[in-house]
């Protein structure tokens, strides 16, 4: 079965960059890599996604390894509001299946 693996937790200082890693060694050629984050008492929210190339948006950047077996979510300047659980997800196009991992709990220190 498809599976993503992430560290259970990470810490970062406020206003410093954060690199959140994810392994998805069973990813197929057409699977997209999505990242979501879940703030306390809320449902997950979309952060960013990509297929092969690195991607940037206003929230974060996504760096995808050349073999696509891993990716890294980059928060350029962490703020206290970025404290959340970050989920790396494989999306198999055409199947409606988003495979979530157990997530990384990010703690941001003031």
Partner 1 sequence: ETGVTQTPRHLVMGMTNKKSLKCEQHLGHNAMYWYKQSAKKPLELMFVYNFKEQTENNSVPSRFSPECPNSSHLFLHLHTLQPEDSALYLCASSQVGQVADEKLFFGSGTQLSVL
- Name the residues that contact partner 1, by CB under 8 A: 32, 34, 36, 41-46, 49, 51, 87, 91, 93-94, 96-103
Q: Side-chain half-sphere of 80: how many Cα atoms within 13 Å?
A: 2
Q: Which is nearer to partner 1, 43 or 110 (CB)?
A: 43
The residue (of 14 and 95) whose beta carbon lies closer to partner 1 is 95
CB of 69 vs partner 1, minimal distance in Å: 19
> Measured from the CB of residue 79, what is the shortest distance to partner 1 in angstroms?
22
> What does 66-100 look like in DSSP terms, one character per residue?
TTSSEEEEEESS--GGG-EEEEEEEEETTTTEEEE
Closest CA to 28 of 3, 5, 6, 54: 3
- Closer CB to partner 1, 42 or 110, in the complex: 42
């Amino acid at each position: 079965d498809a599976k993503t693996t992430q560290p259970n937790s990470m810490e970062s200082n406020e206003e410093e960059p954060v690199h959140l890693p994810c392994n998805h060694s069973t990813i197929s050629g057409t699977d997209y890599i999505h990242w979501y984050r879940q703030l306390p008492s809320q449902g997950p929210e979309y952060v960013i996604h990509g297929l092969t190339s690195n991607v940037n948006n206003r929230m974060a950047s996504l760096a995808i390894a050349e073999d696509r077996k891993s990716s890294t979510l980059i928060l350029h300047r962490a703020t206290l509001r970025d404290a959340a659980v970050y989920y790396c997800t494989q999306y198999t196009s055409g199947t409606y299946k988003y495979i979530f991992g157990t997530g990384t709990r990010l703690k941001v220190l003031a």
